[in-house]
A = this chain, B = another copy of it.
Amino acid sequence: MSSVKFRKILKKDLHDVFLLLNQLKKIDLSSIDKKTAWDNFSSNSSSNAIVGIYNSKVVAYGSVVVENKIRGEVAGHIEDIVVDSSVRGNMVGSSLINELIKICIRKNCYRVTLFCKESVVNFYSANGFNVDSVNMKKYLDSEK
């Protein structure tokens, strides 16, 4: 799969990326206002997202949020990693992570973090990440 090419996401990729992300977490795609989603995403300079293209098809998506900390440090947070089920097991995931790390280096991040299920800790360990701490989550919908 060395011919997977990575590039910055473009608006035209949206539908393909939505389908891909639905392999990770299903949401009702008809409920998305695509224009608003793109405008909000692309106006937030902290978010950096890339797609992997193979045979003219979007087969991978990943993003990294770049955080300016108050003491001047810059930290990267990898989010929403997905590789199409048809190409898994071909190092596409590792290449995707590597591309996101390159973005972090260009943005002068001193570290990059991510949170993941226990089942993929070995994958990220093989890509240079160490288990660091516990990720905790709170849903807010009910409080709006």
Contact = CB atoms under 8 A, between A and B. Distances in A.
B67 A65 contact: yes
A105 interface: yes
* Number of copies of this protein chain within its complex: 2
**6 closest A-B pairs by CB:** A37-B72, A129-B136, A132-B137, A46-B46, A44-B68, A133-B135
A67 B70 CA distance: 17
> Interface residue tally of chain A, by bracket?
35 or more
How would you classify the secondary structure of chain A's contact residues: helix, strand, loop or mixed? Answer: mixed
A27 B71 contact: yes
Contact of A17 (B18, B70, B118): B70
Given A14-B70, A71-B18, A77-B65, A132 B115 contact: yes
